[in-house]
Structure 1
Amino acid sequence: MARIRTIKPEAFFSESLAEVSVEAERTFFGLLTQADDHGRHRDNAAIIAGLLWPLRAEHTSVHVEDDLHQLASAGLICRYTGCDGRRYLHIVTWAEHQKIDKPSQSRLPSCPQHQAAGRCGPCKGTCAKRAEASPNAPRALDLPAQPAATLRDHAGGAPEAQQDAFDEMAGTHSRASAKAPGQDAFSESSPNLPRNPGEGSAPGSRILDPGSSSPTGRTAPAASVSASQLVGEYVAACEERPPSDVIGHLGRITKKLLGEGIAPEHIRAGLANFAAHPKHPSVLTSMVNEAMNARCGGLARPGNRPNVPAHQAWTNPANAATAYAEEL
């Protein structure tokens, strides 16, 4: 439930907030009103987008995920996995800036990095079973060692330009590899092994909880290519090298789409469409969906469904029964 919070005047010339975009700053201020009395909240971009950006359809959950990544990189929030296996976040400087009169007990797990001595909601006291940092927590683009040569080959130009192109792509990964408080990089192997195809279907719902690190439904098939390879192909197809922020944003979206099990050829088609019609990187998801579902039908149009006549405007004929006999 939303609460009235305090924003100090110093926040508007805070150097930490100046490191993030204006949209991420608004998301941070919105989190102040949505977090519980201990500064904790679910780490789910779709939920946060619905709470903080309900009337801004252009700012989707993809943008909110980027906002959260910026806030975590600036040390303003800490993203962690609770003892129940779900992802949470908390505002790092909450106790310094928010004075809560008679705070209610938190129902959410405490942060193992900053609030180890605090009360854990599920444990009803000091957390008795600490969970490791979530391998599913959204982070920067992973760049495996194998595609490194591919990126250099696609960058083109002199060896110095190739190295600069690769360094720009890999810079985000190196920053994510350094552990910030309460954050861990992606682990090399997933702790959730895919189910054996020979096993019978387990009872219960097959709907995946977006906040759970232990899904019970089907796991996405392993991608044959990596996100860095697909983005490298996109960079090679461009006449001029796109800005590093655009490349990083496209890389995060591409990795997320691969994680959902979307075929690489659909993502490659979406990237080709994006290269031909460059817009904000967030539209890549829509372009991939267009490539996947290009044959989905809609309202009748000429040539779309030959057996259904196209709509004709009313022309107020003298004899309506004769002119519109088929439609009437």
Structure 2
Amino acid sequence: MGGMNGGEHSSSLVVQVQVPATLANLGSGFDALGVALDLYLEVTARPALSDAFSYTGEGWVEATPDNLIHQGYRAAWAALGKPAPPVALEVHNPIPLARGMGSSSAALVAGAAVADALSGGGLGKDGVFRVTAALEGHPDNVAPAVYGGFVAALAEPPLALPLPWPQGVLFVLGIPAYEVPTALARAALPQVVSLADASFNLARSALWPAALYSGRLEALREAARDRLHQGQRAHLMPGMEGALEAAYAAGALAAFVGGAGPTLAALAKPEAVEAVRRGFASYVGEGRTLVLKAGRGYTWKEVLTPAP
């Protein structure tokens, strides 16, 4: 990683933060349901004379103090009613950018978590969720990044409730080489939907927690069906509908678009994983597939570094 250019104190308390990638919506639970994945943004932060930022990992992010991590950091200090002290950030990010895997939410949560750590835990996880849900505007990526696993959430009022994690299942992710910016995906959605479509999604989003609590994982196929956003965005993700059908034919328990896309996600038992990967192959093209478990919420730790 690049060195800090903001000037460091002679000795400082280093904070190391990890924040998971996330999948939002889970098909039917538009802006309401999400899950964390065991793929983690890593941030090392230390007090500095001026804000600084260095980045390695997926894609390219400009080395500017206006990055999303610093934005989350400043918003958290504002929520504490205090000015944000300058901080130098070293970032390593394995989460693909603009692919529907929560890279933006992870960055905001990381910044707020750094502020929470440096303030002595003044916000706690619930406070970090409130701050970042307000910044993000929709909480289905932020909530699992904070709390881990499957989460049902809303931003106003800020509320997030963890759901059970099914044991012995994996996420197969089909990640194309191209990006779908969230703003473009949002613009593809109608402002008004029919009562029939709203009722369709409400019933199926309610099936997600029912299936997870009861262990009736065969119900997840129906729970993941959607009429509010996936079809409306299909033109941004060529081959999406056929790839989801192929995942089910290969034995997936549930298959859906990750967030705003273009990543597709399938929940599968281990014996079906390779067949699902093959089902995503033509959709992924020059991209890649990943197989991941559900992940934990963000963590941070302090490391006292000696003066040089």
TM-score scaled by length of structure 2: 0.30
Larger radius of gyration: 1
Q: Which has the higher contact order (CA 8 A, sep 6+)?
A: 2
Q: Which has the higher strand share?
A: 2
TM-score scaled by length of structure 1: 0.28
